[in-house]
Amino acid sequence: MTPQERELLTGMGNCHDACGEDFEGTVRMVAHARDLEPEAVKRTLARLRDQYSQAPEYQALRGRLPNDFPM
């Protein structure tokens, strides 16, 4: 996982921890903070899931988020 990918997932966890937003709200916060479109964040999250779902680092970062987040 690249540093930027790691930062994106960390940001998802941090934003959710801070505000408790649902998936869409968390994506919007992360997109705004990173000057990205929400759809770009969603595409990146989907790609990370597909590439790294079995990687311990991904699982640890993903584990900070609710199970019902579709990522």
Q: What is the pLDDT of residues 13-51, one digit of tens each?
A: 999 999 999 999 999 999 999 999 999 999 999 999 999
Total length of the chain: 71
Region at 65 (left for phi over 0; alpha for psi -120 to 50; beta for the rest): beta
Q: Are 61 and 9 in contact (CB under 8 A)?
A: yes
Angle at which helices 3-19 and 38-52 cross, to 10°: 110
pLDDT score recorded for residue 71: 80
Give me the pLDDT at residue 9, please: 96
Distance CA 65, CA 59 (A): 10
